[in-house]
Structure 1
Amino acid sequence: MKLLKFILIIFITLTIEIKADSNDELIDNLKSGGHLIFIRHAYAPGGGDPDNFDINDCSKQRNLNDLGREQSNKIGNFFKRNQIPIDLVISSEWCRCKETASIAFKNFETKNFLNSFYSAKFEKNRKSQMKNLKKYVDSWNKNKNLVFVTHYVVILEALDYAPNSGEIVIADTKFKKIGNIEIDY
């Protein structure tokens, strides 16, 4: 039994060190610029949006709670602490994304190609949004990093990766996932 505990402790310690090393390598990579950084909005309890969803009325949307706001602060602190150069922060027009971007980065703009197409009424926008996202990236000056604050479905469609709330997913300009960093709430 003691041997099993010892092996478990060694395994946990090694995997934490490997994760830290890979995060350090990823952060160094980000410091060089030229990457796409997708961030799934911070924690907003529930799933999808209410039936009476209104893009112009945050009270009719699923929004961040206090844990989501704290997670947004942690996202911003991650970028500041690691001195990651950012060219521009672009958010979905959904309130939970705008609030995440506002808390984490202060300055941002919105683009509808980052909007959710999770619900059936917006699913018809998926192909045109992905086309416009790729067109935008193709025209972007790649000296710093480009940050997208968006939704699970957009990241899944663009990178074939399913992120958690507040997760940072890094890709190259060909939309190939390079790595990810989870930010707890």
Structure 2
Amino acid sequence: QCPTQLNLSARGQQQASRIGALFAARAAPIERVLSSRYCRCLDTARIAFEAEPEPFAPLDLLKTDPAEKAAQLAAIMAEIRGYSGSDNLVLVTHLENIVALTGVTPREGEAVVVEPQGDGLKVLGRVTF
């Protein structure tokens, strides 16, 4: 129901295009793209990676109930840890999810590059577009 949601602005569309261009310029092949089911995330993924993302409910805005939130974050971590592809896995989600998973507060249009480490994620870098 995109008309009832905050949608991707023209600036957001430009940022998504730049994200895709940077991945392409760095020859960073993408094997799989998972996205929140929110329209702005799905649109970001489509524009950036020119592919249809897989809607992944745990990437939606975090639940307010602590037990539901913990389960949601655990599902994201399980997906990351279970990934065995040869190319990159991209997750398109919301600020609060990124903060909860990494402790990093990215700027609008910024990517956080991570790898699993122990029970959490190790931030390898941040890329602003």
Tell me the TM-score normalized by structure 2.
Answer: 0.90
Q: 1:123 aligns with which of 53, 57, 64?
A: 64
The structure 1 segments of at least 4 consecutive aligned residues displaced by more than 6 Å after TM superposition are: none
Q: Secondary structure at the match of 2:107?
A: coil
Q: 1:109 aligns with which of 54, 57, 76?
A: 54
Confirm or deny that 1:155 pairs with 2:98.
Answer: yes
TM-fit CA distance, 1:142? 4.6
How many pairs align?
123
Partners of 1:70 and 1:169 in 2: CA distance? 18
Q: Secondary structure at the match of 2:116?
A: coil
Q: 1:96 aligns with which of 27, 40, 46?
A: 40
Report the counterpart of residue 138 of structure 1 in structure 2.
Answer: 81
Partners of 2:92 and 2:10 in 1: CA distance? 18
Confirm or deny that 1:180 pairs with 2:126.
Answer: yes
Partners of 2:81 and 2:20 in 1: CA distance? 26
- In structure 2, the gaps of 5 or more residues are none
Q: Deviations over 1:54-86 (max 9, x none)?
A: xxx111111111111111111111111111022
Partners of 1:148 and 1:59 in 2: CA distance? 23
TM-fit CA distance, 1:143? 2.3
Q: Deviations over 1:83-137 (max 9, x none)?
A: 10222111100111001001011221110111112xxxx3223211111011112
Higher strand share: 2
Q: Secondary structure at the match of 2:37?
A: coil
Query: Which structure is richer in relative contact order (CA contacts within 8 A, separation 6 or more)?
Result: 1
Q: Identity over aligned residues, as a percent?
A: 31
CA-atom RMSD, angstroms? Answer: 1.1
- In structure 1, the gaps of 5 or more residues are 1-56
Q: 1:69 aligns with which of 13, 16, 19?
A: 13
Q: Deviations over 1:128-180 (max 9, x none)?
A: 11110111122210522110011001100000110111101011122111110
Partners of 1:164 and 1:147 in 2: CA distance? 17
